[in-house]
Chains A and B, each alone.
Chain A
Amino acid sequence: MNRFSYVRARDAREAVDVVSAHPTARFIGGGTNLLDLMKEHVTHPSHVVDITRLPLKGIEDTPDGGLRIGALVTNSEVAWNAEVKRRYPLLSKAILAGASPQLRNMATTGGNLLQRTRCYYFYDVGTPCNKREPGSGCGAKTGFNRIHAILGTSEQCIATHPSDMCVALAALEAVVRVTGKDGERAIPFADFHRLPGDTPQLDTNLKPDELITAVELPPEGFAAHSTYLKVRDRASYAFALVSVAAALTLDGGHVRSARVALGGVAHKPWRNPEAEALLTGKPATREHFQAVADALVRGAKGFGHNTFKIELAKRSVVRALEEAAGREGQP
Chain B
Amino acid sequence: MKRSEGSTVGGVAPPEEPTKQRLSLRVNGAEKQLDVAPWTTLLDLLRETLDLTGTKKGCDHGQCGACTVLVDGQRINSCLTLAIMKDGCEVTTVEGLARGDALHPVQEAFIEQDAFQCGYCTPGQICSAVGMLAEGHARTDDDIREQMSGNLCRCGAYPHILAAIQQARRTSAKGEGT
Binding site for B on A (CB under 8 A): 1-10, 14, 17-18, 21-22, 28, 31-32, 35-36, 39-40, 47-48, 50, 52, 76, 80, 99-103, 105-106, 235-237
Closest to A237 in B: B149
> How many angstroms between the C-alpha atoms of A100 and B135 in the bound complex?
14
Interchain Cβ contacts under 8 Å between A and B, 26 examples: A1-B39, A2-B39, A3-B37, A5-B4, A5-B18, A6-B84, A7-B8, A7-B14, A8-B7, A28-B85, A31-B81, A31-B82, A35-B41, A36-B80, A39-B60, A48-B38, A50-B85, A100-B151, A101-B128, A101-B132, A101-B147, A102-B76, A102-B77, A105-B76, A106-B80, A236-B149
> How many angstroms between the C-alpha atoms of A213 and B50 in the bound complex?
36
Task: Digitize B127-139: 1 where CB-to-A-CB distance is under 8 Å, 0 elsewhere.
Answer: 0100110010100
Task: Digitize B15-50: 1 where CB-to-A-CB distance is under 8 Å, 0 elsewhere.
Answer: 110100100000000000000011101000000000
Answer whether residue B74 sits at the interface, using C-beta atoms and an 8 A cutoff: yes
Give the interface residue-count category, chain B.
Answer: 35 or more
Q: Main SS of chain A's interface residues?
A: mixed
The minimal Cβ–Cβ distance linking A146 to chain B, given in whole angstroms, is 18
Interface centre among B15, B21, B38 (most CB of A within 10 A): B38
Residues of B within 8 A of A31 (CB): 80-82, 85
- The answer to whether B14 and A32 touch across the interface, beta carbons within 8 angstroms, is no
Answer whether residue B122 sits at the interface, using C-beta atoms and an 8 A cutoff: no
Residues of A within 8 A of B16 (CB): 5
The minimal Cβ–Cβ distance linking B1 to chain A, given in whole angstroms, is 10
Answer whether residue B9 sits at the interface, using C-beta atoms and an 8 A cutoff: yes
Binding site for A on B (CB under 8 A): 4, 7-10, 13-16, 18, 21, 37-39, 41, 60-62, 65, 68, 74-77, 79-82, 84-85, 87, 128, 131-132, 135, 137, 145-151
- The answer to whether B85 and A32 touch across the interface, beta carbons within 8 angstroms, is no
Residues of A within 8 A of B131 (CB): 101-102, 105
Counting residue pairs across A and B whose Cβ atoms lie within 8 Å, the total is 111
The minimal Cβ–Cβ distance linking A63 to chain B, given in whole angstroms, is 32
Residues of A within 8 A of B74 (CB): 76, 105
- The answer to whether A236 and B145 touch across the interface, beta carbons within 8 angstroms, is yes
The minimal Cβ–Cβ distance linking B13 to chain A, given in whole angstroms, is 7
The minimal Cβ–Cβ distance linking B77 to chain A, given in whole angstroms, is 5
- The answer to whether B15 and A5 touch across the interface, beta carbons within 8 angstroms, is yes
- The answer to whether A6 and B7 touch across the interface, beta carbons within 8 angstroms, is yes
> How many angstroms between the C-alpha atoms of A8 and B8 in the bound complex?
5
Residues of A within 8 A of B146 (CB): 236
Closest to B146 in A: A236
Residues of A within 8 A of B14 (CB): 5, 7, 18, 22, 47
Interface centre among A8, A18, A80 (most CB of B within 10 A): A8
> How many angstroms between the C-alpha atoms of A35 and B84 in the bound complex?
13
> How many angstroms between the C-alpha atoms of A292 and B85 in the bound complex?
47
Q: With contacts A6-B38, A236-B146 known, is A21 near B76, CB below 8 A? A: no
- The answer to whether B9 and A7 touch across the interface, beta carbons within 8 angstroms, is yes
> How many angstroms between the C-alpha atoms of A52 and B74 in the bound complex?
16
Residues of A within 8 A of B7 (CB): 6-8
> How many angstroms between the C-alpha atoms of A99 and B62 in the bound complex?
10
> How many angstroms between the C-alpha atoms of A52 and B15 in the bound complex?
21
> How many angstroms between the C-alpha atoms of A4 and B7 in the bound complex?
12
Residues of B within 8 A of A35 (CB): 41, 79-82
Residues of B within 8 A of A102 (CB): 62, 65, 68, 75-77, 128, 131, 150
Residues of B within 8 A of A47 (CB): 14
Residues of A within 8 A of B15 (CB): 5
> How many angstroms between the C-alpha atoms of A32 and B77 in the bound complex?
9
Residues of A within 8 A of B10 (CB): 14
> How many angstroms between the C-alpha atoms of A31 and B62 in the bound complex?
11
- The answer to whether B62 and A103 touch across the interface, beta carbons within 8 angstroms, is yes
> How many angstroms between the C-alpha atoms of A17 and B15 in the bound complex?
15
The minimal Cβ–Cβ distance linking A84 to chain B, given in whole angstroms, is 14
